Amino acid sequence: MNTQIDLSRSAELYERAQRVLPGGVSRNAILRSPHPAYVAYGKGCRVTDLDGVTRIDFSNNMASLIHGHAHPEIVRVVNEQMARGTAFMMGTEAEVLYAEHLCSRSPSFDMLRFVNSGTEAIMVAIKASRAHTDKFKIAKVEGAYHGVYDYAEVSQAPTPDTWGDEDHPRSVPLVHGTPDSTLRDVVIIPFNDTDRAIKILNEHAGELACVLLDLMPHRAGLSLADPDYVEAIQNWVRDNDALLVLDEVITFRTEFGGLQSRYDIKPDLTALGKMIGGGFPVGAVAGRADIMDVLNPKSQRYLFPHSGTFSANPISTSAGLAAMKLFDQKEVARLNALTDRAIDGIKKAIDSVGACACVTGSGSMFRVHMKEEPPNNFRDAFNTDAEKKRLAALLEHLFNEGFIMINTCAATLSTPMTESEIDALVAAMESGFAKIASLPMP
């Protein structure tokens, strides 16, 4: 693959973008030096940029595309709906059909409410928890990403200078100007440290509306939650009249019924988003009927007025229903097996080169770290300056070799992928590990 080409079209477009967009972008994740690559089109698991370079897409728009780009069935369904209209001040059959399908995939989904993004799903889940419990504080895992709601983003990116003692992690703002009152209402617990987490929760018994948990948080290392840790938190919320809110915006792709199906738990609420939109903006909150009732204007417990101009629009719900029907038990298993192949191959490449690296993940997602041992929480996963340098070199190597990765060196798979794409990535990883071997060790 020839990637040594004139990037003048992307460079010229970026010059124009900087005049009208802060930093030249609407999402910081696409920035790269000296300028972003601009897409011309995508098909299947490949994306071609404006300068004619085609790459295999292991980012899949930050885990939101389970069937890659321009899947024929999704294109057909969306085109048919486009001809009928895109949004109405009326209900649509697509909304009902899709709600029925999603509720059928998990025993914890009694009812659901559609929204427009994963961030909004988390926001609604937190507010519904507060309305149901009549309490306002929440607890969340240090370093876990849950979107851009003020409360959900607390301690999303603490540093050694700010994160405090392990026994009492600080509530650290992400955005300058975050009110102190917000920080006081968010309790931070460590990931996969049951004793410390429960001790911290006990200090706030009677105050917490919910514990917000991702069972495999990307920013905290993309390592699976220990079953005992999850069970302990589930028991704690039951004993303390709080709710367990799972963030499956990303992890719902790991199993037919989401990652929660691997655990002996039944969360009270689950936030969904990304891939359930079939490539279009979407979010949903699913959970217990009595909790969801706070959103019901016909209920005696109507406590949470909620609406949204584009919530449950027929484009997103039609595309989402088509995508999720295609992502059946057989495809889930096939994609997960490809992930296992990738993880095994990368581990062998690390051993072959003798690289200071490791890989974590499960169920159509994995992440490469510039560390000898797989991280078990955010502090373990935090990159030193030397690790950042080596990671950036690996990502640049992979991009030049024709692979698009998430900027943490994480990958999410799509159903158009086969063993061929997996093996090609593993080979590029091995040559990348060899290339960065001379860089400083952490």
- Report, as an integer, the average pLDDT of 230-259: 98
pTM for this model (two decimals)? 0.94
pLDDT at 1 over 80: no
CATH number, domain of 388, equals 3.90.1150.10
Which domain-ending residue is among 302, 326, 350?
Answer: 326
What per-residue confidence (pLDDT) applies to 298? 96
* pLDDT value at residue 441: 55
Instruction: Report whether 74 contacts 323 (CB < 8 A).
Output: yes
Verify that 308 and 332 share a domain, yes or no.
no
Q: Do 18 and 149 sit in the same domain of this protein?
A: no
Give me the residues paired with residue 369 across strands.
358
Distances (CA, A) of 145 to 55, 84, 141, 313, 439: 27, 37, 9, 26, 30
Nearest to 368 by CA among 386, 345, 334: 345
The confidence score (pLDDT) of residue 181 equals: 96
Give the structural domain span for 415.
Answer: 8-66+328-436
What local confidence, expressed as pLDDT, does residue 35 receive?
A: 86
In this structure, what CATH number is given to the domain that contains residue 174? Answer: 3.40.640.10
Evaluate whether residue 317 is within a structural domain. yes
256, 349: one domain: no
What's the pLDDT tens digit per position in 380-423? 999 999 999 999 999 999 999 999 999 999 999 999 999 999 99
391-407: b or e for each residue (b if 16 or more CB lie within 10 Å)?
Answer: bbbbbebbbebbbbbbe
Is 430 domain-assigned? yes
pLDDT value at 29 more than 90 = no
- CA dist 374 to 38, 75, 156, 187, 201, Å? 34, 40, 20, 26, 26
3-state secondary structure of 268: coil
Structure confidence at residue 39 (pLDDT): 92
Whether 441 maps to a domain, the answer reads no
